[in-house]
Structure 1
Amino acid sequence: MFQVGGLLVFCGLLARTTALLDGLPLRLDPALPLAAIPALPSVPSDLVGSLTSALSNGLLSGDLLGTLKGLPLLDTLKAAGGSSSGLLGGLLGTVTSVIPVLNSLAEVKVTDAQLLELGLEQSPDGHGLYVTIPLDLIVDVKTPLVGSVLKLDVKLNITAELLVVKDEQGRSHLVLGDCTHSPGSLKISLLDGLLPLPMKTLIDNLTGILNQVLPELVQGRVCPLVNETLSHLDVTLVHDVINMLTLGLQFVIKV
């Protein structure tokens, strides 16, 4: 039979125990963060993808490809060809017969340009980012020797450094640091196959000149566009990137 008296005694003891416990300080769960330790900002999902996508879209909307197609390659080559004691003389050596050919080139221009997938690498100290901007260009060369177009495939990487700086009011900004072509990234190849020896000599020397002048020429057009793109990035995205770099937190970069 159910013991009513026993239940009343048990309830009374339980109520007294509860009251005593209420007067004791609560033991903190060690898994919970202490109020004295500031909480770290949450890491946005796929921050790297958002940043590279925003930079890529910004460069394209800033007419990067049109800018590359407008590179003054012919004028640059002719200027190099007119300096026998400078760059061209050092490259051509004794092949002086190529100089008038360079001056008579009908056309040297970028007819197609592509921006490939951007790469991202964090600096060793965690407070900067290096953005790799890979470019693929098709250069058409019209010469009086063959009366047709030779096509060169040009690949070149531009590397832009992103840093956090503070202005006089103490506000943080994401800015462009060093911006230059990646050493050794320039690759030039002929798309039209084999050539007769005179034309091969010409193309070899054209390639030698382009190796010297093209990286800085491209760099001079791309880097200002990167700086302009940074100034138009989404404010929330910039804030998230600045927080990560300021604290030196590791970006999750997918390989």
Structure 2
Amino acid sequence: MTASSRAQSFDVAAAQYAASRPAYPAEVLDSVEQFAGCRLAGARVADVGAGTGIASALLRERGAEVIAVEPGEVMAGGFHQALPGMPVVRGDGNALPLADASCDLITYAQSWQWTDPGRSVPEALRVLRASGALAIWWNTTAFDVPWLREQHARIAHHCGVSPRSAVRPSDSEAVRLAGLTGLRVGRRQVRWSRTVSLDMHLANIGSRSAFLVLEESARRAFFAEERERLGRMFPREELEETYVVDLLVALRP
């Protein structure tokens, strides 16, 4: 299964994605402003891989002028429903449908991994204005929480993917892995949590690409077992999801 196929898989679960995926704490956008050296209020921001608009909505709340870029037709439709009036154009980070030097900030929330940095970095630099910035971030697993660490291992095994290391990369390694070597990059990790129902938690992890590309029978088998297991752990069917947002902000040379 190619990365492109997994990236395109989100269209089949756009409503589930919009309803169950976590947002991001205010400290993430505070840090973007700090590293970029500018306020979001009044800034022209391209939110790439915008999905159903989770990050775009937060950016707009900060007063940014947001244009969303989204490759998926159904996801873009969900964006229109969630954020009527906010512009969304079809495209991806490897070939941005945006004019040269037209944005103060380009953001990738949960979507940088679907790009080829050899193409997406030059595209970002083309579209950014002088003194502009590129911000990428992910909600990542808090591996120090035992049940989340163990669940991560079960998901990786069931989906046939390699589990991520519980040891987070150093700043220099994170920059290298993101393909941002040679740029001035700031990094911050923000820990946060949310309390959700068991159903919402299962819908959240079921909206991940690793599950969306599986056969229906394989998905059902995993979630039947996981519901039973977590039901025993959390008999009130309410649990706390803990995340560590990993944020990188690269400044335009």
TM over 0.5: no
Higher RCO (CA-CA < 8 Å; seq separation 6+): 2
Q: TM-score, normalised by structure 2?
A: 0.29
